[in-house]
Amino acid sequence: MRTHTKETQASTTPRRALEFLREGNARFISNLRINRELLQQANETRDGQWPFATVLSCIDSRTSAELIFDQGLGDIFSIRIAGNVVNTDILGSMEFACKVAGSRLIVVLGHSACGAVKGACDHVEMGNLTELLAKLQPAVYQERTVLDPEQRVSTNVEFVENVARINVQRSVRSVIDRSPVLADLVVAEKIGVIGGMHELSTGRVDFYEATALFNGEDIARFRKI
């Protein structure tokens, strides 16, 4: 597959960028990954980069966005933080990626059995991790299908997965609500934003259609959820 250029990035729509990722994940789970000349790509991108998508994912060692979406050097911006939470620095990175560097899509990607989500479910406090896990607590509180306090813990797989899903949705909302720059780009249909979940056992990524934001109407709909 050819390295992305300024021209291919400019001709990629937000929806096509999402299709690139869907197609790449299908190759990954089928073990049909494209054979790339990575050193050649490194040389071809030494004077500039034109990634078509930006992926916010967890630091978990099993969730490399480049691998699970079968992308090469220069194809995507990869932002990683425990629990795929959103903060000011991450929003600034996304604004650079989209407004300055031309990325067409933002993906907020959670994953199954997330250690950060488990820590938040158990109300873990430890050094600087305490502040990070506090950003996940709203998702824990918002989960209302499990009411028994003894079941609202990390050993309850269903509860953990529900919290992880809610956290992805909240992170998508934060991108739009906390960054007028990115919201304006969506309204102008220059970029899209979507959330999804990576299942570690299969490698499959399921995108949440309810979080798919490609225009102003999508934002208005999503804010009513």
pLDDT value for 91: 98
Task: Kindly report each contact of residues 133-141 with a partner whose C-beta sits within 8 Å and lies 24 or more positions away, as own/partner.
Answer: 133/83, 135/83, 135/85, 135/86, 135/87, 136/83, 136/85, 136/163, 136/167, 138/170, 139/163, 139/164, 139/166, 139/167, 139/170
Percent of the chain with pLDDT over 90: 84
- Is residue 206 predicted with pLDDT exceeding 80? yes
- Is residue 41 predicted with pLDDT exceeding 80? no
pLDDT value for 88: 97
Output the six-digit token pair for 129: 């991790």
At 51, phi and psi to the nearest 5? -65, 140
**Which residue's structure tokens are 């407004």?**
99
CA–centroid distance for 204 within its chain? 14
Output the six-digit token pair for 177: 């609500």
What is the band of 44 on the pLDDT scale with cuts at 50, 70, 90? Answer: low
Verdict on whether the full-model pTM lies above 0.85: yes
3-state SS string over 88-115?
Answer: HHHHHHHHHHHHHCCCCEEEEEEECCCH
Residues 6+ apart with CB under 8 A from 137: 120, 123
Work out the average pLDDT over 182-190: 98
Per CATH, the number for 6-223 is: 3.40.1050.10
| Beta strand extents in 44-179 (DSSP E only) | 53-57, 76-80, 105-111
What is the band of 1 on the pLDDT scale with cuts at 50, 70, 90? Answer: low
76-80 and 105-111 beta bridge pairing: unpaired
Please count the CA atoms within 13 angstroms of the CA of 118 that sit on its side-chain side.
10
Torsion sign over Cα 144, 117, 139, 21: negative
